[in-house]
Amino acid sequence: MKRLLLVVFTSALTLQVAIAQQKPQYTQYVLNNMLINPAVTGIENYIDIKTGYRSQWTGLQGAPVTSYITGSIPFGSDFVGGDAAALSGGNDANPYSRLYTQNYEASAPHHGLGFMAVSDQAGPISTTNLDLTYAYHLGLTSTFNLAVGVETGLNHISLNTSELILENPLDPAIANGSNSQWKPDLGVGVWGYSSNYFFGISALQLLSQNQYFSTKNSVNQAKTVPQFLVSGGFKVFLTDDVTLLPSTLVKFIKPLPVTYDVNMKLAFKDRFWIGGAYRNGDAVAGMFGLNISSLINISYSYDYTTSALRTVSNGTHEIVIGIMLNNRDHLIAPAHSF
């Protein structure tokens, strides 16, 4: 049975790469929305560094393993408290408090610059994305900001033929082709946010690229396709210091079926949180996070596989570490990164 499921998994993975190469998925996307929307770049008033590691379907040989690092910084002398390169601040309110919500003012117009480096290994196929991001944030009302953003860079895909066992060593699907390719990458996004809600729309991987591992194009029709993502969330105050934060992410990636994630976080003041998630047809997850200090926070999630792979998968582990550099307001929890 395990061999059969491994064959099914390998075939499904190969088909996915061949017809619609996907970017990695994340259970804790709400902690780093920059991964799914470049308009989030520069949303916080400090240098925001995040790194993550995800091991999917552990126990299954060749299952996806993803690691990443992102960073962003805002620029704008009129930004609340000054921009992140300045030396002074002044807003030390708890970002989860009712007081912060009631006194919230939209950020002054400012820019955000950032970068992303994402590595994803799935069986013999590995991909790496290196992107620079830019966003412009504008206060449309006294309490609402709208940001537009763009990401651009390079995507690298490679096929490790030494991990393949072929009946024909000269299989035309990979013979005489390029097993290591660099392609341009482009994505855009829009992000709206206030003190207690956010929503976003993004289009990633806009430059559809042929990715032939063979010189015979009729054999290998691998290509990337655009990916459209819609996300949103809001805070519900249960008490002054306890908030419930539901959020969702919907992915439209042809020709694959529409998928969606639903997350729920229960945050206790600005020190720690617990939560759960559901991904249709794939997994349910539990997660928790600690805001250790005004410099560092850490979170962990575990996905229990609900698909047919559950008989051979030991679940999925994901860890995210956040670093808040030059956090002049000494915020323990991010004000805008729900």
Tokens of 54: 């995800």
Asked whether residue 244 is assigned to any structural domain, the reply reads yes
Residue range 204-212: average pLDDT? Answer: 80
Residue 126 is assigned to a structural domain of this protein? yes
In a domain, 338, yes or no: no
Q: What is the DSSP string of 228-242?
A: EEEEEEE-EESSSSE
Domain that holds residue 180: 25-325
Q: Does some domain include residue 82?
A: yes
In this structure, what token pair is assigned to residue 111? 């820019």
Q: Which residue has the tokens 């013979």?
A: 175
Looking at residue 217, its pLDDT comes to 53
The string of pLDDT tens digits covering residues 80-139 is 444 443 334 445 567 777 777 777 888 889 999 999 999 999 888 889 999 999 999 999
Kindly report, residue by residue over 315-333, the tens digit of the pLDDT.
899 999 999 998 888 888 8
* Residue at 334 is within a domain: no
Counted domains in the chain: 1
Quick check: is 19 in a domain?
Answer: no
Give pLDDT tens digits for 263-306. 999 999 888 999 999 999 889 999 999 999 999 999 999 999 88
| Of residues 196, 193, 265, the one with CA closest to residue 40 | 193
Residue 62 lies inside a defined structural domain of this protein: yes
Across the range 31-37, mean pLDDT stands at 95
Q: Token digits for 178?
A: 């390029």
| CA neighbours closer than 13 Å in the CB half-sphere of residue 50 | 28
- The label of the residue with tokens 């061949």 reads 18
Please report whether residue 12 resides in a domain: no
Q: What is the residue whose two structure tokens read 């969606």?
A: 260
CATH of the domain at 245: 2.40.160.40
Residue 36 scores a pLDDT above 50: yes
- C-alpha span between 294 and 329 (Å, rounded): 9
Taking each continuous run of H as one helix and of E as one strand, the counts in the chain are 2, 15
pLDDT bucket at 27, cuts 50 / 70 / 90: very high
Note the pTM of the prediction, 2 decimals. Answer: 0.84
